[in-house]
Amino acid sequence: MKAERRATLAGAVAVLAAANVLNNRLAPRLAPLTSAAATGVLLALARRSGLSWSELGFHRRSRGLRIGGALASAVAAVYGAGIAIPATRRFFRDERALSLSRSRALEEALLQVPIGTVLLEEVGFRGVLHALLARSYGPRTAVAVSSALFGLWHVLPAIDMTAANPALSGLVSVEKPGDGPRDDGGVPRGGGGGGPHGDRLHGGVPRGGGGGVPRGDGPPQDPPAGDSLWGMSRVVAGSVAATGLAGVFFCELRRRGGLAAPALLHVATNSLGYLFARLAPADPTRPGDRRTAA
């Protein structure tokens, strides 16, 4: 029986790993289809192993909707304050959102995020993985392991984020004494960003996304490879740690309100990001700051 449970757990992790690569590298536009199929496989594995719907988190729906709705409203308020304050506004102007047309932004917010991202992550990590681990190792281990895996799940998105969010890239850029001035971390506005049609290198990182460092009056030069790698490593490590902690919080929401509570908060956090990125006023001091209108 223990061997069967370990095999089921390994199978669930393998399904999630395959979906992660497909959604982030091989076929991102097909993420809703991939995630729906992966979710079905995960639920089939869990039900075949004897887990009930309640154990998987499909319970306390009314309470979960109330908790999730309240938290989603709080997210909207925080985002609204974030774009209203000049000091924080720049962190909301993500090139992945700004480079999209309105129709593509709506697709991301209403289809890609709820089905392509949240459905699989909540059912996969807070539902199936959590239940499988809790049955064999207890609830504390279930929270710790599922949250750690949830953090690792975000390695590939974090790599893309370093090129797509100029303000974030500026936070992790490395400037040595004697270097010339950087243009907000060396990331050009309007340079393709993280949008689906940007000029990407292998791995989804836009060309020039690491930023050139002007030195003296000569042409911009790329920063040393070690500096770029170190900056990206910092973003990835920070993202893994932050999403791992978010996973712990989502597990607590799951305990209190089933999967509905973390799912609503998760959708609000991601989908509203597209809306508020486009609502954030452009920086008049940056001539290249823009948003795609159609």
Q: What are the boundaries of each domain within the chain? A: 59-173+221-279
pLDDT number for residue 208: 33
pLDDT number for residue 288: 55
> Which of 85-94, 145-154, 203-212, 235-244 is modeled with the greatest confidence?
145-154
pLDDT number for residue 292: 47
* Burial (Cβ within 10 Å: 0-12, 13-18, ≥19) of residue 197: exposed
pLDDT number for residue 181: 39
Neighbours of 27 (CB within 10 A): 12
- Give the global pTM: 0.77
- Per residue in 116-138, pLDDT (tens digit) is 999 999 999 999 999 999 999 99
pLDDT number for residue 187: 35
Q: What is the mean pLDDT of residues 8-36?
A: 97
Is residue 105 left, alpha or beta, with left meaning phi > 0 and alpha meaning psi from -120 to 50?
A: alpha
Between 42-56, 207-221, 246-260, the lowest mean confidence (pLDDT) is in 207-221
202-236 burial string, b = 16+ CB within 10 Å, else e?
eebbbebbbbbbbeeeeebeebeeebbeebbeebb
- Per residue in 257-285, pLDDT (tens digit) is 999 999 999 999 999 999 999 888 876 66
- Per residue in 229-248, pLDDT (tens digit) is 887 888 899 999 999 999 99
pLDDT number for residue 67: 98
Asked if the model's pLDDT at residue 178 lies above 90, the reply is no
What angle do helix axes 2-21 and 130-137 make, rounded to 10 degrees? 150
pLDDT number for residue 163: 67
Quote the CA–CA distance of 93 and 233 in Å, as a whole number.
22
